[in-house]
Amino acid sequence: MANLDVVAPEAPKSDAPKLGGRVRRLRRQEGMSQAALAAELGISASYLNLIEHNRRNLTVPLLIKLAERFDLELSEIAESDEGRLSADLMEAFGDELFGDIDLTNTDVRDLVTSNATVARAILALYDRYRNLRDDADVTGGAGVPGGEEATASDRLPSEQVSDFLQARANHFPELEEAAERVNHDSSLSGEDTFRAMTTFLSNTFGVRVSELPADENRVVRRFDPEARVLELSSMLPTDSRNFQTAHQIGLLAAEREIGMLVDEGDFTGDDSRRLARIALANYFAGALMMPYESFHRAAKKHRYDIELLQHRFHVSFEQVCHRLTTLQRPRKRGVPFHLLRSDIAGNISKRFSLSGIHIPRHGGACPRWNVHSAYLQPGTINVQISQMPDGATFFCIARTVFKAGAGYGQPRSYLSIGLGCEISHASELVYADGMDLERPERIVPIGVSCRTCPRMDCAQRAFPPVAHALETDENARGVSAYISAKG
């Protein structure tokens, strides 16, 4: 038998697109092992592992096989996480800590392209620094109350969970299957969803559902695992009551799936692991109340009309928006959306992007985003064509929602929900009907945040840009205090 020399594939060129993260995410979305996908592609599992870690390039034949396997266009496969990582790093370098360092967007992109691992390490260091700095501001440098030392992972577990959801494209086939199984067993297709869920809890887990009195206004859901009692606030509207019940079903019926997913996550503390369990149980609740097949079909039929979907599935505006971001099942995909939730002070409490738009990692978003202007017309859907400084254009909608107080004199909590997609998908949405998407005057120039935005003609600029020297003149005023009037 002739001897065959096995030649190791060349390392990827530095200017080649890094697609390993994209391949790994697609594989995980279907719950596939490396060995299973490698077998379908006709390569070894070890070679696929090198591809997923950006140590080998994807060949054109492999790209075609991946596109066919996951029912995607080649351009969709070629999308990487470099843009989001670059934006997060630019936001970090916008901190005054780096004020004396002359960094440009090109410098950051070169780093991300040449060594994304180092770029992520820098971002992790900055996150830790920022969190510890915030701790010191709160405690005067003396640690947290009680003498315990604060750590970055304990301080902001929400960032770890947000990154986890983003890495999985906010799609979990394991939870979809668990929800479909429960949906079938509990006969939720009937009119009285709440009764069907409470009956399922009683018959399957011996859990009794009772009502919390209205004066216990700090608790909306409380489960006693010893007594097997689930208490729900009597102040909850129907959609929230149903969602909280479905959430508890998820914690019980999908305990194994949730546990396995949390174990796969890169969580560094108990707080982040608990928050991840909550996020995954919320995902299950959405999948239970809005089953994938029927919800995807209705979303396509009604062209993503959120209010029609609310009535069809008896859920809230925010619940529909969140569910729309999860429609990533191969061969039955929905529009790739981004989602953010902001309060009236501009704090972002929920962020996720499949559209490619960059949502700030820290602090608030650009004041020109319609997620802020939606507060000027409460309850009305606000439509905007938004364009980033790099020319990427998005079709965005936003609407306010509120959570009522427990009684007279109790304050309401107002939030704004932003949902959007890349402009090429706009025609699939009912909200684009009658709009000329090509008219330049309809486009609103936006940025990620003032410190990283290069636009020098924005009257709403609140901070000087990191990439431009600050020019001030006491005898002349530009459209903003941080913009020169020299022109």
Flag whether pLDDT at 2 surpasses 70: no
> What is the pLDDT at residue 411?
76
Kindly indicate the confidence band of residue 269, based on its pLDDT and cuts at 50, 70 and 90. confident
H or E element that contains 310: helix 306-313
Flag whether pLDDT at 12 surpasses 70: no
Percent of all residues in the chain with a pLDDT value above 70, rounded to a whole number: 82
Percent of all residues in the chain with a pLDDT value above 90, rounded to a whole number: 40
* Domain identity same for 156 and 192: yes
> What is the pLDDT at residue 146?
45
> What is the pLDDT at residue 14?
42
Task: Judge whether 157 lies within some domain.
Answer: yes
* Domain identity same for 365 and 386: yes
Flag whether pLDDT at 53 surpasses 50: yes
Separation CA 153–CA 138 (nearest Å): 17
Q: What's the total number of domains in the chain?
A: 5
Lowest-confidence segment of 12-21, 49-58, 337-346 by average pLDDT: 12-21
Lowest-confidence segment of 159-168, 366-375, 462-471 by average pLDDT: 462-471
Please answer whether residues 235 and 156 qualify as being in contact, where contact means their C-beta atoms are separated by less than 8 angstroms: no
> What is the pLDDT at residue 420?
96
- Report the CATH number that the domain containing residue 225 is assigned in CATH: 1.10.10.2910
Helix (H, G, I), strand (E, B) or coil at 435: coil
For residues 471 and 238, the model is more confident at 238
* Domain identity same for 158 and 237: yes
Flag whether pLDDT at 139 surpasses 80: no
> What is the pLDDT at residue 242?
95
Flag whether pLDDT at 144 surpasses 70: no
Please answer whether residues 239 and 318 qualify as being in contact, where contact means their C-beta atoms are separated by less than 8 angstroms: no
> What is the pLDDT at residue 78?
55
Separation CA 426–CA 103 (nearest Å): 35
Lowest-confidence segment of 165-169, 178-182, 359-363 by average pLDDT: 359-363
Flag whether pLDDT at 474 surpasses 80: no
Separation CA 300–CA 197 (nearest Å): 27
Task: Judge whether 39 lies within some domain.
Answer: yes
Write down which residue in 256, 289, 322 finishes a domain: 289
For residues 14 and 382, the model is more confident at 382
Please answer whether residues 428 and 303 qualify as being in contact, where contact means their C-beta atoms are separated by less than 8 angstroms: yes
Give the pLDDT confidence of 171-186 residue by residue, as tens digits: 999 999 999 999 988 8
Comparing CA positions, the residue from 206, 203, 193 lying closest to residue 238 is 193
Kindly indicate the confidence band of residue 265, based on its pLDDT and cuts at 50, 70 and 90. confident
Q: What sign has the CA pseudo-torsion 179, 402, 360, 123? A: negative
> What is the pLDDT at residue 468?
64
Task: Judge whether 301 lies within some domain.
Answer: no
* Domain identity same for 241 and 261: yes
H or E element that contains 107: helix 105-114
Q: State the CB neighbour count (10 A cutoff) for residue 169.
A: 19
Mean pLDDT of 129-142: 62
Kindly indicate the confidence band of residue 374, based on its pLDDT and cuts at 50, 70 and 90. very high
Amino acid at 214: A
Comparing CA positions, the residue from 194, 173, 191 lying closest to residue 254 is 173
* Domain identity same for 73 and 89: no
* Domain identity same for 105 and 224: no
Write down which residue in 142, 164, 189 finishes a domain: 142
Give the pLDDT confidence of 190-226 residue by residue, as tens digits: 668 899 999 999 999 999 999 988 777 778 899 999 9
Flag whether pLDDT at 260 surpasses 50: yes
Flag whether pLDDT at 4 surpasses 80: no
Mean pLDDT of 440-468: 80
Length of the chain: 487
Flag whether pLDDT at 478 surpasses 50: yes
* Domain identity same for 86 and 71: no
Q: Which residue carries 């067993």 as its tokens?
A: 185
Please answer whether residues 295 and 323 qualify as being in contact, where contact means their C-beta atoms are separated by less than 8 angstroms: yes
Following DSSP, what letter does each residue of 216-261 receive, concatenated? -TT-SEEEETTTTEEEEETT--HHHHHHHHHHHHHHHHTHHHHHHH
* Domain identity same for 170 and 242: yes
CA angle 484, 486, 487 (to 5 degrees): 90
Please answer whether residues 426 and 437 qualify as being in contact, where contact means their C-beta atoms are separated by less than 8 angstroms: yes
* Domain identity same for 436 and 471: no
* Domain identity same for 282 and 382: no
Task: Judge whether 340 lies within some domain.
Answer: yes
- Report the CATH number that the domain containing residue 60 is assigned in CATH: 1.10.260.40
Comparing CA positions, the residue from 455, 459, 454, 453 lying closest to residue 477 is 459
Kindly indicate the confidence band of residue 49, based on its pLDDT and cuts at 50, 70 and 90. confident
Give the pLDDT confidence of 60-97 residue by residue, as tens digits: 678 878 888 887 765 566 555 666 777 788 778 777 77
Q: What is the DSSP letter of 5?
A: P
Q: What is the DSSP letter of 11?
A: P
Separation CA 252–CA 255 (nearest Å): 5
* Domain identity same for 72 and 92: no
Whole domain around residue 475: which residue ranges?
456-487
Flag whether pLDDT at 142 surpasses 60: no
Please answer whether residues 328 and 354 qualify as being in contact, where contact means their C-beta atoms are separated by less than 8 angstroms: yes
> What is the pLDDT at residue 363?
67
First to last CA, the chain: 77
Separation CA 1–CA 257 (nearest Å): 49
Task: Judge whether 307 lies within some domain.
Answer: no
Strands 229-233 and 208-212: parallel
Separation CA 266–CA 254 (nearest Å): 20
- Report the CATH number that the domain containing residue 408 is assigned in CATH: 3.30.450
Long-range residue pairs from 219-222, CB within 8 A, at least 24 positions apart, any chain: 220/244, 221/247, 221/248
Task: Judge whether 216 lies within some domain.
Answer: yes
Please answer whether residues 359 and 346 qualify as being in contact, where contact means their C-beta atoms are separated by less than 8 angstroms: no
Give the pLDDT confidence of 312-335 residue by residue, as tens digits: 999 999 999 999 999 988 888 899
Instruction: With both helix axes pointing from N to C terminus, report the angle between 238-253 and 270-289 in degrees, rounded to the nearest 10.
Output: 120
Q: What tokens were used for 58?
A: 């994807």
* Domain identity same for 198 and 238: yes
Task: Judge whether 7 lies within some domain.
Answer: no
Task: Judge whether 320 lies within some domain.
Answer: no
> What is the pLDDT at residue 405?
63
